[in-house]
Structure 1
Amino acid sequence: MIEAKNLWKQYGDNVVLEQLNLTVNEGDFITMVGSSGCGKSTFLKLLLGTESLTRGELLINKKPIPNEPGPERGIVFQQYSVFPHMTVLENVMAAKAFSRQGITGYLFGNAKRDAKEAAEAILTEVGLQHSLNKYPHELSGGMKQRLAIAQALLGKPKILLLDEPFGALDPGIRAEMHQLVLNLWREHGLTIFMVTHDLKEGFSLGTRLWVFDKIRHDPQEPNAYGATITYDIPVTRNHEDSLKMLTEHTSKSSTTITQ
């Protein structure tokens, strides 16, 4: 479904990603870990279409990913992307309105009724059916993130991008959100890419865990080389085996280049 061929991304002289070669099948749940600044979120932006690659190819169903977001790709950030002046229901309906062509994106008549029915259905699916008329300031952090997920799913995307979506939540709420995402992944047949700094979370949710890291370093020019996917680990439901596998991989030293 997704394929990258010798993908590079850099900003001026700062190389962020280099030599990414990968294939992702439909239905994979990819979790991505690595140190801050190693290109995980940049890769999500390339998938979303808000950033363009510097060279190489990034394909979806054998065609270049468009250089703009589309309904087949939904995204949820750590910071809640909701409108404070709108109710829960209006927030989700707005996601439908913004996807329409035209100057205003306003919904009228049958289009408005259909959007309302679709919004109510997805809000019920994420457990917000009793909060349709509440405003974001009346919601807990977990409820706001459920709202953001509902917004992302309303367009029925095939690919869901999650950029540290649960990092600000308490452990108990995170566990609830983990189960919600797993249920939605299975029920909707989604292909998911999720950035996380929590290794346990990566193993618990994903079917494959990617480790982003630099394999080349130059102390004189730290931005001369970018990160790549150093390990692509199939995740077993025996997390101890997966963790042991990662420990064995990361015990190998990185290459240092000195000029």
Structure 2
Amino acid sequence: MSAVTLKNIWKTYGRDVVLERVNLHVKSGEFVTVVGASGCGKTTFLRMLLGEETPTRGELLMDGRPMPAEPGPDRGVVFQKYSVFPHLNALNNVLVAEEFGRARLTGHLFGAARRTARDKAVAMLEAVGLQQALKKYPHELSGGMQQRLAIAQALMKDPRILLLDEPFGALDPGIRKDMHALILDLWKRRGLTIFMVTHDLKEGFYLGTRLLVFDKVRHDPQAPNAYGANITYDIPVGRTEPEILAEIRDQTGLPLATEEN
């Protein structure tokens, strides 16, 4: 598990301000969901946690130390678009994460090391419910099964932090419900700290222990990009659905139904 702290974080691109004055402390083992209007910096926030983007200003800390400035095995990520290799079967899709991490020059493990890695990959696929699909290729899997495969990939290096960027947005409601149950089970059993961006408000408070709302509080009609978004609301989840929805609506003006990302 891992704690994450953001101190007065700003992210700008030239004169365009995406995020400003973001302050946050997330304890180890929390499940943080993130919602907000289109273009308010949700994905930029996630990319900074991953290490693909660096803050322009401020401190980003993990366990009290500067967050590594590039992606690493301590952080796994799952995107809405299935990040799997189409030319590899399910087993090799998961195994390749271990091989790249331990054999960077050749990209392959051999002998006992490969057998150990293969056993770990099989166990990971079993953990996400794909034990019957080891030899199947991505095009032979349903959307939900492909996303299960992507989650298995992300967890193969035993990350302390799991980052989810609208991972269930493209799935049908029934499959989505199954994926909710899966991610909650993995979170509890593996003790992960999770950050999840979603465009679905109900999904956000159903899954998370905290729900963050990103929005711009300062506006200049003559310079729409002069000010960035920050965390306008930080909701500890645990109240009833009507209470939370009404409070978010009253405080932020966000719609109660699915919003655009």
1:22 pairs with one of 21, 24, 28: 24
Equivalences for residues 104-143 of structure 1 within 5 A: 104-143=106-145
Structure 2 counterpart SS, 1:128: coil
How many Å apart are 1:101 and its aligned residue? 5.0
Give TM-score, length-normalised by structure 1: 0.95
**Counterpart in 2 of 1:256?**
none
Equivalent residues of 1:204, 1:237 under 8 A apart: no
How many Å apart are 1:80 and its aligned residue? 0.5
**Counterpart in 2 of 1:212?**
214
Structure 2 counterpart SS, 1:216: coil
Gaps (5+ residues) in structure 2?
255-261
Structure 1 counterpart SS, 2:225: coil
CA shift digits 1:64-98 (9 cap, x unpaired): 11111111100000001111110000000001112
How many Å apart are 1:116 and its aligned residue? 0.4
**Counterpart in 1 of 2:248?**
246
How many Å apart are 1:99 and its aligned residue? 1.5
Structure 2 counterpart SS, 1:143: helix
CA shift digits 1:130-171 (9 cap, x unpaired): 000000000000000000000001111111000000000000
Structure 2 counterpart SS, 1:172: helix
Question: Which letter maps to 1:168?
Answer: A
How many Å apart are 1:244 and its aligned residue? 2.3
* Structure 2 Cα separation of the partners of residues 46 and 157 of structure 1: 16
Structure 2 counterpart SS, 1:217: coil
Equivalences for residues 11-160 of structure 1 within 5 A: 11-160=13-162
Does 1:3 pair with 2:9? no
How many Å apart are 1:104 and its aligned residue? 2.2
Moved more, 78-87 or 99-108: 99-108
How many Å apart are 1:245 and its aligned residue? 2.1
**Counterpart in 1 of 2:174?**
172
* Structure 2 Cα separation of the partners of residues 139 and 204 of structure 1: 27
Question: Which letter maps to 1:241?
Answer: E
Equivalent residues of 1:31, 1:210 under 8 A apart: yes
* Structure 1 Cα separation of the partners of residues 103 and 12 of structure 2: 33
Does 1:200 pair with 2:192? no
Equivalent residues of 2:103, 2:109 under 8 A apart: no
How many Å apart are 1:100 and its aligned residue? 2.2
* Structure 2 Cα separation of the partners of residues 101 and 227 of structure 1: 41
How many Å apart are 1:115 and its aligned residue? 0.9
Give TM-score, length-normalised by structure 2: 0.94
Structure 1 counterpart SS, 2:37: coil
How many Å apart are 1:32 and its aligned residue? 0.4
Structure 1 counterpart SS, 2:81: coil
1:221 pairs with one of 220, 223, 231: 223
Sequence identity of aligned pairs in percent?
A: 64
* Structure 1 Cα separation of the partners of residues 233 and 50 of structure 2: 23
* Structure 2 Cα separation of the partners of residues 215 and 247 of structure 1: 15
* Structure 2 Cα separation of the partners of residues 42 and 110 of structure 1: 41
4+ residue runs of structure 1 moved beyond 2 angstroms? none
Question: Which letter maps to 1:71?
Answer: P
* Structure 1 Cα separation of the partners of residues 177 and 171 of structure 2: 9
1:236 pairs with one of 229, 235, 238: 238
Number of residue pairs aligned between Structure 1 and Structure 2: 252
Q: RMSD in angstroms over aligned alpha carbons?
A: 1.2
Question: Which letter maps to 1:35?
Answer: A
Question: Which letter maps to 1:127?
Answer: G
How many Å apart are 1:106 and its aligned residue? 1.2
How many Å apart are 1:251 and its aligned residue? 5.0
How many Å apart are 1:12 and its aligned residue? 1.1
Equivalent residues of 2:212, 2:231 under 8 A apart: yes
